[in-house]
Structure 1
Amino acid sequence: MPQTKACGFLIVKGNPIESFLLMKHPKRWDLPKGHVDEGETDMQCALRELEEETGISAEDITVDPNFRYQLQYVVNYKKKFGGADTLKTVVYFLARLDKEVELNLTEHGDAQWFAWDPPHEIQEQTINPLLAAVAQHVGRTA
């Protein structure tokens, strides 16, 4: 089975967390993320994609060095890999927005800051487990 890897961020506001950012696709919510380019580290990819998709730069955030969440699932890319099922690995990092920034959306129709009030029921396959892992993580580090 072909494999692909993407990396991204869960961006939060507040300490403790008050809200988190999601990007709107036509049929679902998602996080700023994208596929790893050749020679990139996971963090380099996540930072690049964050800035490309939202305008939020590395200077605007503080990355939590103790949080890294990885999941795998099967997707079917109709245009890639000849339409074959593909094992996708996604790595998410956690970062706090240090200052207000105006979002510059380039790949999504909309974005929204959601109130932090776990447990969250947004998207079962990827977002819910990530948010649960963050809730557990910040509960340990609070």
Structure 2
Amino acid sequence: MQDANADLPETKACGFLIVKGDPIESFLLMRHKDRWDLPKGHVDPGEDEMTCALRELEEETGITSRDIAVDPNFRYALQYVVNYKKRMGGVTALKTSVYFLATLTNEVQLKLTEHQGSEWFAWNPPHGIQEQTIDPLLAAVAQHVSA
């Protein structure tokens, strides 16, 4: 049986789940007009996943690599079909989103450039925020930090 998504164009985005505390006390989400999201963006040509994630984090929040401690043992990826109404002129594509985990080590005044707002959510798994992408990521982080 052939995968129905096999012929779709593919895109990749990378980003971060930023947390505070050890153990985790809270995590950062960005507000779009109709949903919560994470600081992430599409990979530029020639860019590796971590470079993309760090660039997008700084562009969207003002948080730099000097403000975080990246967990070297966590990488979470998921795939889903998305319709790019604006970005690709209505093209439906298979999107891979790769997320890394980092702890905020410096208090930072967020500088939002692409989102309407942001919020630090209390870490209290299991979470029910956004079923397709955020909840599975948070469940993976909960499993990772309890291992």
Shift of the 53–81 alpha-carbon distance from structure 1 to 2, 3 Å rule, reads closer
Of residues 5, 14, 27, the one that matches 2:34 is 27
Of residues 39, 46, 54, the one that matches 2:46 is 39
Question: Does 2:120 correspond to 1:103?
Answer: no
Distance apart, 1:83 and its partner CA: 1.7
Paired amino acid for 1:111: S
The TM-score, its normalising length taken from structure 1, stands at 0.97
What's the CA shift string for 1:55-99, capped at 9, x where partnerless?
000000000000000000000012344423100000000000001
Aligned to 1:54: 61
Question: Does 2:25 correspond to 1:18?
Answer: yes
Of residues 135, 141, 146, the one that matches 1:128 is 135
Q: How does 1:2-13 map to 2 (within 5 A)?
A: 2-13=9-20
Instruction: Give every structure 1 segment of 4 or more consecutive aligned residues whose post-TM-superposition deviation is greater than 4 Å.
Output: none
The TM-score, its normalising length taken from structure 2, stands at 0.93
Q: Count residues with an aligned counterpart.
A: 140
RMSD value over aligned CA atoms? 0.8
Q: How does 1:77-96 map to 2 (within 5 A)?
A: 77-96=84-103
Identity %: 75
- Note the residue ranges of structure 1 that are not aligned, 5 or more in a row: none
1:74 and 1:85 in contact (8 A); partners too: yes
Range that drifts further, 73-82 or 21-30 = 73-82
Q: CA separation in 1, counterparts of 2:38 and 2:20?
A: 15
